[in-house]
Amino acid sequence: MSPHNVTALASAAAPGFVLERSEAVPALIGRHEDFLFISGLGGTACDVGAVTGDSAHVYSLGGAMGAACMIGLGLALARPDKRVLVVTGDGELLMNVGALATIAVINPPNLAILCVDNGHYGETGWQKSHTSLGVDLEKMAIGAGIKRTRTVAVEADIADGARLLREGNGTSFVNLRVKPTEPGEFKRNFDASLGRDRFRAALQRK
Partner 1 sequence: MVGDREGFRSEGGVSMDAAVESKASTGWQHDLYDLLRRHGITQFAYVPDAGHSILIDRSLADSDVRSIALTTEEEGVALAAGADLGGARAVLLMQSSGVGNCINMLSLIKGGRFPFLTLVSMRGDFGEGNPWQFPMGQATQAVLEAMGVICLRIERPEDVISRTTAALTMVLKSGQSVAVLLSQQLIGAKPF
HSE toward the beta carbon, residue 88, CA cutoff 13 A: 29
The dihedral built from the CA positions of residue 27, 96, 55 and 122, taken in this order, carries a sign that is: negative
Least separation in angstroms between residue 54's CB and partner 1 is 17
Q: What are the counts of helices (DSSP H) followed by strands (DSSP E) for the chain?
A: 9, 8
Least separation in angstroms between residue 30's CB and partner 1 is 22
Of the pair 58, 165, the CB lying nearest partner 1 is at 58
Which residues sit at the interface with partner 1, rule CB under 8 A?
A: 38, 59, 61-79, 82, 96, 98-99, 101-102, 105-106, 192-193, 195-196, 199-200, 203-204
Q: Are 181 and 206 in contact (CB under 8 A)?
A: no
Least separation in angstroms between residue 85's CB and partner 1 is 13
Q: Are 158 and 24 in contact (CB under 8 A)?
A: yes
Of the pair 70, 135, the CB lying nearest partner 1 is at 70
Of the pair 67, 116, the CB lying nearest partner 1 is at 67
The CA angle 6-8-9, to the nearest 5 degrees, is 60
Of the pair 46, 61, the CB lying nearest partner 1 is at 61
Give kind and range of the element (H or E) at residue 164: helix 158-166
Of the pair 1, 78, the CB lying nearest partner 1 is at 78
Least separation in angstroms between residue 125's CB and partner 1 is 20
